[in-house]
Amino acid sequence: MRHAAWIFWILILALVLVLVMLFSLSVGAVPIPIDRIIALSFQGGSSTEHSIIFDIRLPRILLGLAVGGSLSLAGVILQGMFRNPLVEPYTLGISGGAALGVAMVLGLSCASHLTVPLAGCLGSGVVIAFLYFLSFNKGRVRLQGLLLNGVMISFISSSMVMLLMSLTNSDNLQAIIFWIMGSLGQTDPVLIKIMLAASVGLLVVSYFFCLDLNAFALSDDEARLLGIPVERTKKILFLLAALLTGACVSVAGIIGFVGLVVPHFVRRLVGFDHRILMIASFLAGAIFLIISDTIARIVIAPLELPVGVITGIVGGSIFIYTLGCQEDSHA
């Protein structure tokens, strides 16, 4: 019965994802009916509608799928490790390091489709190494110390980004601000393919640790009694979450609330078992970010809002509502 329920939820979320992708393809400054989209996918050609669908909207949707799913998966991993539903990927300071790296590239006017994600990866990599060094003590990774150090690194990185913004010219300043707010406007097909492959690959690797995360929900001691190498598993899970977050920030900027809200909401639907929670959160995160990006594209069309603005407003509202429902149920 349990496996049947899991299959049901996976199929429902997959169906919703497909419908959301079709809806996002059809709406925008130039509305295109779904039947026309299906016809264009078989006809090919170089018409204006074909270019809008396959050169502009579809890359954004695929990137939203990869980034939204990855951020949600990172949130599931970190919340399972810390046994804290309020932990999210950006609290570790990884996004702050990536933002600082990208801000330096943009401020020096040497930005390109390759240098921006490379700078973001380098910045997040430095933070990962520094956090691990600070939190590793006597053969163990101190999770609470890691979280506190991550928060402090986020504040330091944010201050340094603001310093760079105050010293740069107006054109570079606008680029830094828009990137920090998050965007799925990356147009390099190679980077999009790499992000898609990385998100799916890391989902597969992470799934091998779903039972370990179930054991961590009890306690570290209980996990050890079950034969799990706790410290080694923590290192691997932390690295996986860091890779997921760093890749997302490097390609799409800082998009908050996805890794916090989506896992929290999905737990209310499918429960706490990570065997279903990981896959369901990945799909739900993709749905949430694609919807948010669609709203960002059409709400003030033909202008575009940063998708991070939408995820912050919508995600924060959903989270407040969810907490209110929980308090009412416990009352």
In the chain, the domains with their CATH numbers are: 2-330 (1.10.3470.10)
The Cα–Cα gap between 145 and 225 comes to 24
Digit-coded pLDDT (tens) for 275-288: 999 999 999 999 99
**What rounded mean pLDDT belongs to the chain?**
84
Digit-coded pLDDT (tens) for 14-25: 999 999 999 999
pTM value is 0.90
Higher per-residue pLDDT: 91 or 31 = 31
Exposed e or buried b per residue across 231-255, where buried means at least 16 C-beta atoms within 10 angstroms of its C-beta? eebbebbbebbbbbbbbbbbbbbbb
CB 96 within 8 A of CB 110: no
Over 60: is that where the pLDDT of 330 sits? no
pLDDT at residue 24, as a whole number: 94
Digit-coded pLDDT (tens) for 210-261: 999 999 988 878 888 888 888 888 888 888 888 888 888 888 888 888 988 8
Over 80: is that where the pLDDT of 86 sits? no
Residues 109-121 have a mean pLDDT of: 74
pLDDT at residue 37, as a whole number: 84
The Cα–Cα gap between 149 and 91 comes to 9
CB 175 within 8 A of CB 106: yes
**Encoding tokens for residue 328?**
């009412």
Over 70: is that where the pLDDT of 124 sits? yes
Give the percent of the chain with pLDDT over 90: 26
In Å, the largest CA–CA distance within the chain is: 63
pLDDT at residue 197, as a whole number: 93
